[in-house]
Amino acid sequence: MTEAVEYDVVVLGGGPAGENVVDRTRAAGLSTALVEAELIGGECSYWACVPSKALLRPALARADARRVPGLRQAVAGPLDTAAVLAHRDYWTGDWKDDGQVDWLDSVGAHVYRGHGRLHGERRVGVTGPEGERHLLAARHAVVVATGTRPLLPELPGLTGARPWTSREATSARHVPPRLAVVGGSVVAAEMATAFTALGSAVTLLVRGAGLLPRMEDFAGELVAEGLREAGATVRTGTSVEAVVRDGPTGLVTVVLEGGETVEADELLFATGRTPRTDDIGLETVGLTPGGWIPVDDDCRVRGHAWLYAVGDVNHRALMTHQGKYQARIAGAAIAARAAGVQPLETDRWGAHAATADTDALPQVVFTDPEAASVGLTLAAAERAGHRVRAVDHDLGAVSGAGLYADGYRGRARMVVDLDREVVLGATFVGPAAGELLHAATIAVAGEVPLARLWHAVPAFPTISEVWLRLLEAYRG
C-alpha cells in the first residue's frame, strides 16, 4: 500500500446507515471517505426494503380494492406480473447506484470502491475491484456500517439445492409455480404475501408456534389467517430436516421432521441474519471477527474512543430506519468530539443517545393485514418488571375502518404503565394499520400522559379513532 490518505472520518459500508453518517459528518465540515464493495445504498435499496415494498404494494392495493363496493369486480383478475416486476426494477434503479454516487459527489464525500478492512487503530485498507490498494487514515473516527447477510442453517443438501435468500426473492426474474418459504418472521411473511398475490402456490413452513414472534401473539395469528385466505398454506411447529433438488433446474423436495415432504419449484430460507464482520479486520483492534459489535448509546464501540458501529452490525435494532437514526446519533457525537466538546454538553435535543432502540422501536410488516408495533409488548413489559395493563379494541369496530373496507378485520392494543399512566407499547393489525404507527411512536417516545392523550382528538371518520376507543376502555 502507498502512504495513507488522511480524512477526518472513514465510513466502512455504504448502505443507508453509512450514507447518513456521511451526510452528518460532511454537514459538520468533516472530510469523509466512504468504502463500499457493492452498490452504494446497500441491502435496503436493492435487496430488502425498497424492492420488497415495490412487490407488495400492488398486492396490498388490490386486496384493499377488493374490499370496496363498486370496485371489487374491476380488480377481480390476476396481477400483471411483468408490470409488477418492472415497477420493482424502477425502484431499485435497475440495480445501478448512479443516483447515490451523484449525491455523495454533491456533498463532497470521497468514495472508494472495494473491500475495506481495519488495519489497526484509525486505519482502513481498501482492495479495489482491479486489485488496487489504498490505505486510509482517520483523524477522528472510523465508522463500521457493514450490515448483515442472510443466515442459512446447516442442513443436509441445502447448499446443493441453491435456496433463495431475501436477495434472490426480492430480485427474482420469474414467479415460481410453487414456492416453499422457511421461516416465520418479517421476510418470510412479506415474501409469502407477495408471491401468493403474484400467483405462486406458497407453503410457509414455520418452526415456531406462530408468525412474527417479536410482536403480540394476535399479530401473527391475524397475518397467518390472511395468508391462508389468500391461498397460501401456513404450517407452524414444523421443522425442516433436509433439502434435495432434482438436478440443476429440477424440483426441490423439502424433508420435514418425521419424514413428510413438500415439493416446490423454488425454496426461500428466511431464517435470520448474521453480521458482515467476518473479514473487516476486527481482530486488528482486539474485536472478534464474525460477531456483532457492541456499542454504547452514542454508537461508539466500547473501549475504542475512535471507533463507531451503526445499523444492523451492532445488533441493537435490525431495521433500516433505526440504522439511519443511529447514524444521525453517531454523526452528531463525532462532530461534537471533533470540535473538542463532550456531546452531552451541547445536547439539548438528546441527539447523542439512541434511546429509541430500546424505548420506542417502530416496525411495520407489510402483509395483508398489515401489522405495526412500537415499544414493548405486554409480555416484554411484564418481563421488564413494569406494572402494566393491556387495553384491546376491535379495530374493525371503528367507524373509519368500516368505511375504509367492507368486512375490515383488525385489532389494536396499547400497553399502559399503571404507575406513570403512559403508553409503553402499541400494536395495530389491519389493512393500512401501518399509518397509525407514528402517532403511537410519538406517544411512547414522548411519554405522553394518558390524561393529555385524551385531548388529542382523532379526526372522524378515520381509523385513528381507535385511539379514542382505547382511552375510553382504559378509563372505564
pLDDT tens readout for residues 20-49: 999 999 999 999 999 999 999 999 999 999
Query: Which CATH code is given to the segment(s) 5-41+97-149+275-356?
Result: 3.50.50.60
Is a pLDDT exceeding 80 seen at residue 279? Answer: yes
Q: 3-state DSSP call for residue 158?
A: coil
Is a pLDDT exceeding 60 seen at residue 1? Answer: no
Angle at 213 between CA 207 and CA 214, to 5 degrees: 150
Asked whether the beta carbons of 413 and 374 are under 8 A apart, the reply is no
pLDDT value at residue 344: 63
If one compares 359 and 223, the residue with the highest pLDDT of the two is: 223
pLDDT value at residue 342: 77
**Which burial class, exposed, middle or buried, applies to 153 when counting CB atoms under 10 A from its CB (0-12, 13-18, 19+)?**
exposed
pLDDT value at residue 349: 61
Query: Which CATH code is given to the segment(s) 166-271?
Result: 3.50.50.60
What is the percentage of the chain residues whose pLDDT exceeds 70? 98
Q: How confident is the model at residue 359 (pLDDT cuts 50, 70, 90)?
A: confident
pLDDT value at residue 346: 56
What's the CA gap between 240 and 244, in Å, rounded? 12
Is a pLDDT exceeding 70 seen at residue 345? Answer: no
The domains spanning 166-271 and 369-475 adopt the same CATH topology: no
What's the CA gap between 274 and 265, in Å, rounded? 26
Which residues, at least 6 apart from 279, have a Cβ–Cβ distance to it below 8 Å?
A: 115, 117, 289
Which residues, at least 6 apart from 293, have a Cβ–Cβ distance to it below 8 Å?
A: 144, 275, 277, 282, 287, 301, 309, 313, 314, 315
Alpha helices in 108-199 (DSSP H): 166-170, 186-197
Query: Which CATH code is given to the segment(s) 369-475?
Result: 3.30.390.30
Mean pLDDT is lowest, of 215-229, 246-260, 323-337, for: 246-260
What's the CA gap between 136 and 151, in Å, rounded? 31
If one compares 305 and 1, the residue with the highest pLDDT of the two is: 305
State the average pLDDT over residues 357-363: 92
**DSSP state letters, 120-132:** STTEEEEE-TTS-
What's the CA gap between 413 and 432, in Å, rounded? 16
Q: What are phi and psi of 472, to 5 degrees?
A: -60, -45
Q: 3-state DSSP call for residue 261?
A: strand
pLDDT value at residue 136: 98
What's the CA gap between 67 and 246, in Å, rounded? 41
Q: How confident is the model at residue 350 (pLDDT cuts 50, 70, 90)?
A: low
State the average pLDDT over residues 293-321: 95
Q: What is the pLDDT of the chain when averaged over all its residues?
A: 95
Q: How confident is the model at residue 134 (pLDDT cuts 50, 70, 90)?
A: very high
Is a pLDDT exceeding 80 seen at residue 176? Answer: yes
Distance of CA 88 to the CA centre of its chain: 18
What is the percentage of the chain residues whose pLDDT exceeds 90? 94
**Which burial class, exposed, middle or buried, applies to 148 when counting CB atoms under 10 A from its CB (0-12, 13-18, 19+)?**
buried
Is a pLDDT exceeding 90 seen at residue 464? Answer: yes
What's the CA gap between 67 and 17, in Å, rounded? 38
Is a pLDDT exceeding 80 seen at residue 292? Answer: yes
State the average pLDDT over residues 171-187: 97
Q: The pTM is what?
A: 0.95
264: part of which helix (H) or strand (E)?
strand 261-264
Q: Where are the domains of the chain?
A: 5-41+97-149+275-356, 166-271, 369-475
How many CB atoms are closer than 10 A to CB 155?
18
pLDDT value at residue 347: 63
pLDDT value at residue 77: 92
Give me the residue label for grid cell 425498497. Answer: 50
pLDDT value at residue 249: 73
Q: What are phi and psi of 86, to 5 degrees?
A: -65, -40
Q: How confident is the model at residue 352 (pLDDT cuts 50, 70, 90)?
A: confident
For residue 403, how many C-alpha atoms fall within 13 Å in the half-sphere facing its CB? Answer: 9
Is a pLDDT exceeding 70 seen at residue 351? Answer: no
